[in-house]
Amino acid sequence: MWDIDHTLLRGGDVAARAWMAAFTEVTGLAWQATPAFAGRTDLDICAEVFAVHGVTGCTPERFFDRYVEQVHASRHLFAERGTLLPGVRAVLDALGTRDDVVQTLVTGNVPQVAAAKIAAFGLTGAFDAEVGGYGTDDSVRATLVRRCRERAEAKYGESFRPVVIGDTAHDVSAALANDALAVGVATGGTTMAELAHAGAHAVLADLSDVAATIDIITA
Ligand SMILES: [Mg+2]
């Protein structure tokens, strides 16, 4: 269960700009305050943004529709302004050769935006995105892990030992709430010490040591 932002890639400011533009289009209000996005679900962020700006006449669904349109209009900028993080492609490729591993996404992003980010870096084929957990499933990240596991077990007809890989304490706590293996990777704004303190079972500076990463994920 891979987190996307700051775990697999950095998308530049493309999604944040799309978010702000969509907000003003849908609500007619000027953007005032940018919340902390890291590790949170889009439903959670949306609720905060609406509250801070005093929005009452709009649903998250209507906002997300416009947000997705904005992201699609600027999706060519992800690869231009963003970057794939060290070791990611090699780790995904190595795990992709194993028939005892299903790789998917557990991300706070709405599904269409998750797909656009992954596609921008040529990673679409690495994941079974259909069984992923997304920021439209629930505002609480732990629920995304649960939904992902349920979707995977329903589709594949077997039980899985979930592994959550992410860059924030939110990823770690969501894993722990589901008895999943929590692997922290310090390529975002959270340090290795902070990820360990949050309870991660393993912490990596980044994914550049492919063999070590594979060993941890498949242990
Ligand atoms: Mg992240």
Instruction: Give the tens place of pLDDT for each residue, 173-217.
Output: 999 999 999 999 999 999 999 999 999 999 999 999 999 999 999
Instruction: Give the tens place of pLDDT for each residue, 93-146.
Output: 999 999 999 999 999 999 999 999 999 999 999 999 999 999 999 999 999 999
CATH 3.40.50.1000 matches 83-218: yes
Give the Å distance between the CA of 104 and the centre of ligand 1: 14
Give the Å distance between the CA of 200 and the centre of ligand 1: 14
Query: What ranges do the domains of the chain cover?
Result: 14-79, 83-218
Give the Å distance between the CA of 56 and the centre of ligand 1: 29
CB 20 within 8 A of CB 35: no
- In three-state secondary structure terms, 126 is helix
Give the Å distance between the CA of 189 and the centre of ligand 1: 9
The DSSP letter of residue 105 is B
Q: Characterize the bridge pairing of strands 181-185 and 83-84.
A: unpaired
Give the Å distance between the CA of 6 and the centre of ligand 1: 5
Checking if the pLDDT of 35 tops 90, the result is no
What is the pLDDT, as a whole number, of residue 93? 97
Between the CA of residue 99 and those of 39, 95, 96, 116, 117, what are the distances in Å? Answer: 29, 9, 8, 26, 26
